[in-house]
């Protein structure tokens, strides 16, 4: 126990003696990281400003300048990233559910209640699948390559599952030449359901 206490005293003494230098190094690293990030985010003016301000504050060696630098960094993070947009979206989406929880709970348990946010093509695809009683499907190359369409159809059509071995394929109208041997089951707008069994 005494050895630990003896070892801790030199470390504490070293820290106390060099506290200003350690704080300066930490502040320099923090400013450097924020300046680098702002430079990468194409905000060159802020990057140069924060570094210049840091060196001017270091020249005057007043503690409240370093507090101001920290405030500038917080403002940068808040306004230059998606943080503010995320707070605004949370407020828009959560405020109605807090004010009227009954309506939100009813929507939660209503079938197909979330489909209003899906892309129009996906809504058309889901409609075709439901009207034709399809239990599994696959998407054409065009729709599979579109990450948004692919993800939204997988989550929106549930419990109808995508299956690469399915004979039913959802294709775009401009892909019909690739599926000449398939039987057209249904067509709505620019989406066609074909059976390639």
List the chain domain ranges: 2-83, 115-195
pLDDT confidence of residue 45:
76
The partner residues of 139 in beta bridges, in order of sequence, read 170
Per-residue pLDDT for the chain (197 aa), expressed as one digit of tens each?
A: 455 544 556 777 776 777 777 777 887 888 788 788 777 777 777 778 777 877 777 766 666 666 766 677 677 666 666 666 777 777 777 777 777 777 777 777 776 677 778 888 999 999 999 999 999 999 999 999 999 999 999 888 888 899 999 999 999 999 999 898 999 999 998 999 999 88
CB atoms within 10 A of CB 60: 8
Cis peptide preceding 196, ω within 30 of 0 = no
3-class secondary structure for 26-43?
A: HHHHHHHHHHHHHHHCCC
Nearest Cα to Cα of residue 188 among 146, 128, 137, 132: 128
pLDDT confidence of residue 136:
93
Secondary structure of residue 86 in the 3-state scheme: helix
Q: Which two tokens stand for residue 55?
A: 């060196």
**Residue indicated by tokens 């599979």:** 144
Report how far residue 134's alpha carbon sits from residue 195's, in angstroms, rounded to the nearest whole number.
10
CB atoms within 10 A of CB 37: 17
The partner residues of 184 in beta bridges, in order of sequence, read 194
pLDDT confidence of residue 51:
79
């Amino acid at each position: 126990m005494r050895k630990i206490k003896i070892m801790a005293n030199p470390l504490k003494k070293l820290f106390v003696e060099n506290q200003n230098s350690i704080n300066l190094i930490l502040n320099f690293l923090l400013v450097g990281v924020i300046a680098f990030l702002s430079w990468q985010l194409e905000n060159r003016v802020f990057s140069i400003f924060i570094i210049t301000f840091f060196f001017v504050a270091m020249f005057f060696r007043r503690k409240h300048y370093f507090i101001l630098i920290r405030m500038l960094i917080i403002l940068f993070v808040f306004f230059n990233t998606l943080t503010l947009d995320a707070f605004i979206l949370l407020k828009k989406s959560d405020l109605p559910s807090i004010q009227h929880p009954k309506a939100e709970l009813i929507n939660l348990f209503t079938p197909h209640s979330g489909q209003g946010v899906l892309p129009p093509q996906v809504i058309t695809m889901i409609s075709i699948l439901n009207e034709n009683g399809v239990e599994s499907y696959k998407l054409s190359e065009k729709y599979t390559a579109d990450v948004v369409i692919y993800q939204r159809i997988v989550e929106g059509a549930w419990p109808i599952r995508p299956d690469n071995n399915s004979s039913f394929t959802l294709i775009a109208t401009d892909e019909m030449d690739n599926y000449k041997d398939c039987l057209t089951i249904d067509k709505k707008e620019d989406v066609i359901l074909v059976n390639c069994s």
